[in-house]
Amino acid sequence: MDENVPHVQAKFFTKQKHAAVPDSPFSVPSNVSTTELGDLINGLLGDNRGAGRQQFDFLIDGEFLRVTLEKHLHDKGISLETVVEIEYVERHPAPEPENSLLHDDWVSCLQGNGQYILSGCYDNTTRLWTSDGKSLMTIPAHTAPVASVSWIKCDDRESSFITGSHDQTVHIWQWDRQKNEVDCMCICRGHAGSVQCVAVDAGCQRFCSGSWDKMLKLWSADITQCEGDNNEDEEQTEKPIKRKKMSGSKLQTRVPMLTLSGHSEAVSAVEFIDSCEVCTASWDHTIRLWDLEHAVQKTLLQGSKVFFDVSYSSLNRQIVAASADRHLRLYDPRSSDGSIVKSSFTSHTGWVVGVAWSPTNQWEFISGSHDQVMKLWDTRSPKAPLFDMSGHEGKILAVDWSIPDLMLSGAADNQLKIFKSKSNNRT
């Protein structure tokens, strides 16, 4: 060890009690990296035994250490003379490729729920899979590519979902898991352009759709609702499939409960913040928050490029947005200066078109890009992703992290890829 290297007084702490060390200050060389700090912690734990060595990440003031200690302190304007408090957490294990599910065309949208996965495809079909990759059903759902899918419910009593398409409609489906049959309950009409995105509220009573027609629409998600719906001939639908029969050979047509205008280009993403507030992203370079109860726009966040996707986390109540400028941005919709970007995440080399928060970890999210790579991020490490997940041979079109231990991506190589997340729920 070079005795000429200045030393720093450091106190180490962790919220993971099984890995705690004494909180007295240690003198460490200022040029140490996370590797040397990991050696120190393992030594203090008495676990420096090669294969038994634990991997740790280190944080100073809530940000991961990604350079030498000296450079980090210099960049943050922290004096080497101070006692530096360094938090450490177990390092996230690398996600592992689990499965690759082949489709007949581009995989444009997907969503998991428990033991099942929905995927939408450019061949006009929707597919049902088990989470371990077994194909359950291919549904000829629309007359044009399926651009959006979302589960309504998927529990022991009832399974239902919605699909939105370039054919300007949203279909509401009921799935009998015992018989493995689906019924089309009704067709939602009202959009004058491709239905790019759909989202169901937490109560499973309503859903929103966003379209190329620039409109946001609110619909009832009640599959038992009949009042006020019109009937149309089943022959108007696209392909023969087992469907719910209403009034003989008639299918229901449902109309929207509410239409909200304000975007000047296509609505590319929609997310419920709570039962009365919705967030949308658009090709018009804006993210907007809407009050559904009063049918008004609440907040406008202005960007510089097209926004392709947004994801809201109920754990940290923040929004992360994916953009055509290759960046991801973090917003806090509660703050009075909500338009201020809290953090930017830069690593992708192509349009970032998909983003999804972890359902169990307030710090982590995934992103997918036209650069064919899905990335795992931690908001405490804005300068670099935790891991890159490669394997696609075409641009990624959608990602999903609805199932806690599975990260999903769909792409233009006709593949739905599943990565296993071995999360240690680090805090």
Identify the structural domains of the chain with CATH numbers, from first to last. 7-90 (3.10.20.90), 96-420 (2.130.10.10)
Q: How many CB atoms lie within 10 A of CB 213?
A: 20
Determine the Cα–Cα distance for residues 413 and 400; give it in Å rounded to an integer.
17
pTM for this model (two decimals): 0.91
| pLDDT for residue 293 is more than 60 | yes
* Contacts of range 340-348, beta carbons closer than 8 Å, 24 or more positions apart: 342/318, 343/379, 343/382, 344/382, 345/377, 345/382, 345/385, 347/375, 347/384, 347/385, 348/373, 348/375
Hunting for tokens 């929707």 — which residue is that?
A: 126
| pLDDT for residue 417 is more than 60 | yes
| pLDDT for residue 169 is more than 80 | yes
* N- to C-terminal Cα separation, the chain: 33
Determine the Cα–Cα distance for residues 210 and 199; give it in Å rounded to an integer.
9
CA trace torsion 153, 155, 160, 164 (10° rounding): 50
Determine the Cα–Cα distance for residues 326 and 127; give it in Å rounded to an integer.
30
Label residue 234 by pLDDT band (50, 70, 90): very low
| pLDDT for residue 128 is more than 70 | yes
Q: What is the DSSP letter of 5?
A: S
Taking Cα atoms as reference points, which of 330, 211, 199 lies closest to residue 274?
199
Query: For 343-385, what is each residue's pLDDT tens digit?
Result: 999 999 999 999 999 999 999 999 999 999 999 999 999 889 9
Query: For 5-32, what is each residue's pLDDT tens digit?
Result: 899 999 999 998 888 998 899 999 999 9
